[in-house]
């Protein structure tokens, strides 16, 4: 069903299934809702499933804030060999007979908590001289050549890492991390530090900011939509992505000026200096604003 175009503004907590790219999931919802402005808050690989926040209308202006949210994943690590892609879709490379015990894994987990350095997988979206790493790797693979990516390590932040189960040659773990963290790299590095070899065989995103997997909506819901009113029921406020940003109440007159891109004077708390906040008028978000030297400057205006 493709309803008449109805402008919707807000977020959808989508459950992306395995085997579908994030871009394809967005395309399906775009078609079903017949909407023009749509995006997502953090790519999930086709191998992965779970929470994929979808932004509609003016909420697309808050995507960067959603991508900054803490994310939680559950992943299965299969011991025995690494792969070219660091997941089950790649070809086997480094092989090891060692399967670490649960205690051995627990003993090295603290090394992966906090700010750590991590080298992205060869098959990743990192750019090298203007080209995506996965494109370079895939081209070399199709030509039967070995590729040497030499990707640089980068700092990522991991808040928590724990074991859910450890059975045979597979270990299921849960991780809470900040943006830029590659779970496939985490699994690969965990295997190496334990003197073994491993790859991620399953990956599920449990949470992105306020969006939790228990509330996620399946794609089947959108495929069976009868009218846009049904879709409106599951769209949440664009403020969801701005939950950690201070809110400031402004008058109707101030809202008009800000929507026109004008600056207004401000004599509030010094703690707001140079901070970004969201201006609210009548319960509706007006704009993202910044406080500088007693002046409020609009950064992104919402046309609601």
Q: Do 112 and 187 sit in the same domain of this protein?
A: yes
- Round to whole Å and give the CA distance between 108 and 91: 27
List, for residues 70-89, the tens digit of each pLDDT value.
999 999 999 999 998 899 98
Residue 140 and residue 34 in one domain: no
Considering its fold, how many domains does the chain have in total? 3
Report yes or no on 3 lying in a domain: no
pLDDT of amino acid 272:
65
* In a domain? residue 1: no
Q: Considering only 7-11, 51-55, 122-126, 219-223, which range has the smallest mean pLDDT? A: 122-126
Residue 48 is part of a domain; what is its CATH number? 3.30.2350.10
The reply to whether 161 falls in a domain is: yes
Q: How many other C-beta atoms are found inside a 10 Å radius of the C-beta of residue 72?
A: 20
Mean pLDDT, the chain, integer: 87
Distance from C-alpha of 192 to C-alpha of 198, rounded to nearest angstrom = 8
Are 56 and 35 in contact by the 8 Å Cβ rule? The answer is yes
Pair 34, 65 in one domain? yes
Burial of 127 (0-12, 13-18, 19+ CB in 10 A): exposed
Position 225 confidence tier, pLDDT thresholds 50, 70, 90: confident
Which residues are designated catalytic?
A: 45
- Rounded to an integer, what is the distance from CA 3 to the centroid of its chain? 28
Residues sharing a CB contact under 8 Å with residue 108, sequence separation 6 or more, in sequence order: 190, 193, 194
Nearest residue to 141 via CA among 159, 114, 123: 123
Residues 106 and 187 in one domain: yes
First CA to last CA across the chain, in angstroms? 26
Q: What percent of the chain has pLDDT over 90?
A: 56
Domain interval for residue 149: 71-203
pTM: 0.87
Is the domain of 38 the same as that of 104? no
86-112 residue pLDDT tens: 999 888 989 999 999 999 999 999 999
Residue 32 has pLDDT above 80, yes or no: yes
pLDDT for 107? 97
| pLDDT given at position 173 | 98
Say yes or no: 283 and 251 in one domain: yes
**What is the predicted pLDDT for the residue at 3?**
47
Surface-to-core class of residue 303, CB atoms within 10 Å of its CB (0-12 exposed, 13-18 middle, 19+ buried): exposed
Q: Are residues 199 and 214 in the same domain?
A: no
117 & 232 share domain: no
Residues 19 and 60 in one domain: yes
Lowest-pLDDT choice from 101-105, 194-198, 264-268, 278-282 = 264-268
Looking at the structure, tell me whether residues 182 and 110 fall in a common domain. Answer: yes
Q: What is the CATH number of the domain that holds 252?
A: 2.30.130.10
128 and 181 in a single domain? The answer is: yes
The answer on 297 and 184 residing in a single domain is no
The set of long-range contacts for 145-149, using a CB threshold of 8 Å and a minimum separation of 24, is 147/122, 149/122
């Amino acid at each position: 069903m493709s309803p008449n175009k109805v402008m919707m503004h807000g977020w959808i907590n989508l459950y992306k299934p395995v085997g579908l790219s994030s871009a394809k999931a967005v395309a399906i919802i775009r078609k079903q809702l017949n909407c023009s402005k749509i995006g997502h808050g953090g790519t999930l690989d086709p191998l992965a499933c779970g929470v994929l926040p979808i932004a509609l209308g003016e909420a697309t202006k808050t995507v960067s804030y959603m991508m900054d949210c803490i994310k939680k994943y559950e992943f299965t690590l299969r011991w025995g060999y690494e792969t070219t892609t660091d997941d089950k879709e790649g070809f086997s490379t480094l092989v090891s007979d060692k399967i670490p015990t649960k205690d051995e894994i627990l003993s090295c987990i603290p090394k992966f908590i906090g700010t750590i350095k991590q080298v992205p997988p060869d098959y990743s979206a990192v750019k090298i001289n203007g080209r995506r790493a996965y494109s370079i790797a895939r081209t070399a693979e199709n030509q039967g050549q070995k590729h040497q990516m030499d990707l640089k390590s980068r700092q990522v932040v991991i808040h928590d890492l724990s074991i859910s189960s450890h059975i045979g040659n597979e270990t299921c773990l849960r991780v809470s991390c900040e943006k830029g963290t590659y779970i496939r790299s985490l699994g690969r590095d965990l295997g190496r530090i334990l003197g073994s070899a491993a790859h991620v065989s399953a990956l599920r995103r449990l949470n992105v900011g306020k969006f939790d997997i228990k509330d996620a909506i399946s794609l089947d819901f959108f495929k069976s939509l009868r009218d846009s009113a049904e879709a409106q029921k599951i769209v949440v406020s664009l403020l969801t992505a701005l939950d950690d940003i201070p809110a400031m109440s402004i008058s109707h007159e101030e809202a008009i000026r800000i929507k026109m891109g004008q600056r207004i004077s401000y004599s509030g708390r010094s703690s707001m200096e140079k901070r970004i906040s969201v201006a609210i008028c009548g319960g509706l978000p007006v704009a993202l604003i910044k406080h500088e030297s007693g002046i409020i400057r609009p950064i992104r205006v919402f046309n609601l």
